[in-house]
Copies of this chain bind each other. A is one copy, B any other.
Amino acid sequence: MAEFMSLSAAVEQHLRDGQSVAMEGFTHLIPYAAGHEVIRQGKRELTIIRMTPDILYDQLIGMGLVRKMVFSWGGNPGVGSLHRMRDAVENGFPQRLDLEEHSHAAMANAYEAGAANLPFAVFRGYKGVDLPKVNPNIRSVTCPYTGEVLATVPAIRPDVAIIHALRADRQGNVLLEGIVGVQKEAVLAARSSIVTVEEIVDDFGPRSANAVILPRWTIGAIVHVPGGAYPSYAHGYYKRANAFYIGWDAIARERETFAAWMKANVLEASADSFAGLAFGAGQSA
């Protein structure tokens, strides 16, 4: 049942060292503020799960919080590599990073199966490619009607899901809109969840009868963090800081510039100060 609390309390109470955590967001609504709090609290030995790990996961990896990553595409979209991820995979710095790699189709199906409380998902994929040779979790079942062999993937059931949403009402129901990605599935698949929101409203008011809403009884903690998706975006609140994404390439390329940036902007900063950049266009990175 959704409980309103501070960001630090939410991360303290819901995420423990060694757990698996999915901080989802498909370009839109990436939970940067919550992820930065995880870094400030210095959680260790995490398994991080995400279809499209981007800068936030680069930061978690570069700060040495991560033992394993489950993913399907790891890059800085439209810009290039995640240098901290590459440093971990190619050089074991700051520590070895285990990868469990899937395709997007597999990950999307695996979240869906998790939300549906199934142990695995079936899909038509991985035809003629090499990933099944290096990922033993890619298996198959035979259709009991047609004999067709289809690919399978284990359901994703994270210990904790962390997402950023547009609005919560005072009862703790949460509304998403726009590019909704796999966030609803991630929350429903997880054992507990933290949701940061742009705004808390008395009531959602007039809306589509089919609005994407997570009822309060599906959520662990709700935290009010305006700007909590910055430098990603929150539809109707602020735009994606594309310049930040472009600028990140130079920051993350070297270990020293990365460490300095993290110290100044995350470790020694408050959640509000970084998130606040969402509303002061252009002065970031």
Contacts and interface: CB of A to CB of B under 8 A. Distances in A.
Interface of A: 116-120, 122-124, 137, 139-146, 148, 150, 152, 154, 177-178, 180, 207-212, 235
A210 B209 contact: no
- How many subunits of this chain does the assembly comprise? 2
Contacts of A143: 119-120
A148 B117 CA distance: 12
Given A177-B210, A208-B211, A145 B119 contact: yes
Contact of A145 (B120, B144, B209): B120
Given A140-B144, A208-B210, A211-B210, A123 B119 contact: no
A210 B211 CA distance: 7
B150 A139 contact: no
A95 B210 CA distance: 41
Tell me which of A118, A137, A142, A209 has the highest count of chain B C-beta atoms within 10 A of its own C-beta.
A209
Contacts of A177: 208-210
Contact of A208 (B118, B124, B207): B207
Q: Is the interface of A mostly helix, strand, loop or mixed?
A: loop
Contacts of A123: 116, 118
Given A177-B208, A180-B210, A210-B212, A141 B139 contact: no
A44 to B, nearest CB: 27
Given A118-B122, A137-B145, A208-B210, 18 more contacts: A118-B124, A118-B150, A119-B143, A119-B146, A119-B150, A120-B146, A139-B144, A139-B145, A140-B144, A141-B142, A141-B144, A144-B152, A145-B152, A145-B154, A177-B209, A178-B209, A178-B210, A210-B212
A123 B121 CA distance: 10
A25 B35 CA distance: 43
A141 B142 CA distance: 8
Contacts of A180: 210
Contacts of A146: 119-120
